[in-house]
Structure 1
């Protein structure tokens, strides 16, 4: 269980940012954090020289090329980052050279959109504490300190599941996740933005899970809170070292991913994670991405798990005739 929790955090990065934004607006517990990313510029020629000098076989950032089409980039992201950090210069350069930024969903939803999301995620008549039990609810409240306990009681179980799976280590914040920083940079520089999905569509993948499976998984998650955060930190470390191979080794190891699930639920969660969240969405996105790459230079930024394996975007784009070259991050 602990691995799928950590691995899933690479997928739908907008969920927690939107959720926190809503709860902060409703409860007035704190003001939203505004960050302006410093723009770093560098010539294309120097960037290519650095790429050649530090050439490697894997990366979270890839140059995407095909004859007759503009050069584009593919980036695997993570939803949290060290507080005060900024984008690596290679990512800034990739965005600078691109006319369009594609992300999974809108990382800066407006207030009206957040209100609509709240209607989907909250049940004013519900009582999550009754469904989880007092002990597990207190454990959940301890994990999600940014959400007041009274507001947490109104969360639907699947919404609490999405909240609990994002264990954020001390010194890290969703506001400094790669997706957030890229989005802010794109807005600052007036880049066109394209979204592969609506936030509601992302949330629906969780809402469609039967409630009894969600509650069972959530209870296991709470029991393994300490090890979950340790796994999260391990993934962050691999990401910061630009080690996509190690990230993939964790993500694609089904045995380790599923070993802490109840035996009767393992088949269900394996299909949900590897087929529904990864494979099906990757193949659906591919047509949109391929069409966009034919038109304009584009930076595609999606959760790192979507890059990996035979059904990952790296391999799917190669199957379409694209040449992908990993870019070293200094």
Structure 2
């Protein structure tokens, strides 16, 4: 049980790596390198409570003042996009009948509803993150992820939004995923509380701790753990040229998982390497 829980924690930890040495905000202003307008880079936790936005109104005030918004997924494409079909296994092929009934019951009682209509098209990774969100007091009644809610608010206000991920990269990642292990992890997380005595608190996302990370330490100059590298290096190689195109066109609000900002391979350091100035924004 502990191994399965730890595995599940690693899957979501790329969005919740809350460590560091020097106080630096997870909202950063991008300027310099010939930019006519500043842009902003915001590190999120996909399973965070939307209530956090209301606690820090400056985030959405800044987002409302930009020309474009960029997210990991959703929105318009940027440039020539590599296309591919993303295969997701039918849920009833990776869960046993008993597990399927348990998972369906859990989601039916949530704002997301039964998994049965989505049996052939559901993302196990998204389900894993949703279970984490639904297990938390402040976010259990949300009907969407933190990033998606920010995106919806900006789209409703008329802001053009763009997607950084490409289907080719997402398809390759899905092909390498062990779906049965992930399905087991989802079942274990549904059956157990995240605060069991044999699980260390830092293994799981703490919404109050994330709220503190809006002015919390960031590891900008250290090497990322391998499981973060596996999920970020290729994606950053795809994202960085797209980010540079859009920030040169106008002011952007770029919202991605917090671990994508951190470390030597993170977007903050990569943008600095390309000549931009990045400064933390005090919220």
With structure 2 as the length reference, what TM-score do the two structures score?
Answer: 0.70
1:238 to 197, 209, 223: 209
Give ranges in structure 2 of 5+ residues lacking alignment: 1-6, 77-84, 196-200
1:76 maps onto 2:76 in alignment = no
CA–CA distance in structure 1, aligned partners of residues 155 and 125 of structure 2: 31
CA–CA distance in structure 1, aligned partners of residues 203 and 62 of structure 2: 27
Q: CA deviation at 1:180?
A: 3.1
* 1:148-163 equivalence runs, <5 A: 148=114, 150-151=116-117, 154-155=119-120, 159-163=123-127
- Match in the other structure for 1:58: 24
- Match in the other structure for 1:111: none
Give ranges in structure 1 of 5+ residues lacking alignment: 12-55, 109-116, 255-269
Q: Cα 1:162–1:231, aligned 2, differ >3 Å: closer, same or farther?
A: farther
- Match in the other structure for 1:323: 277
Q: CA deviation at 1:316?
A: 0.6
Q: CA deviation at 1:215?
A: 0.3
- Match in the other structure for 1:7: 13
Q: Please, what is the CA RMSD of the aligned residues? A: 3.7
1:278 to 232, 244, 259: 232
With structure 1 as the length reference, what TM-score do the two structures score?
Answer: 0.61
- Match in the other structure for 1:48: none
- Match in the other structure for 1:191: 159
CA–CA distance in structure 2, aligned partners of residues 127 and 96 of structure 1: 42
Q: CA deviation at 1:324?
A: 1.1
Q: Cα 1:171–1:233, aligned 2, differ >3 Å: closer, same or farther?
A: farther
Q: Which of structures 1 and 2 has the larger relative contact order (alpha carbons within 8 angstroms, sep 6+)?
A: 2
Q: Cα 1:182–1:219, aligned 2, differ >3 Å: closer, same or farther?
A: closer
Q: Cα 1:97–1:161, aligned 2, differ >3 Å: closer, same or farther?
A: closer
Q: CA deviation at 1:65?
A: 1.1
CA–CA distance in structure 2, aligned partners of residues 107 and 245 of structure 1: 29
- Match in the other structure for 1:218: 183
2:44 and 2:255 in contact (8 A); partners too: yes
1:70-123 superposed Cα distances (whole Å, 9 cap, x missing partner): 211111123344466645222123223311111122269xxxxxxxx9x95474
1:102 and 1:301 in contact (8 A); partners too: yes
1:299 maps onto 2:219 in alignment = no
CA–CA distance in structure 2, aligned partners of residues 205 and 174 of structure 1: 30
CA–CA distance in structure 1, aligned partners of residues 269 and 213 of structure 2: 18
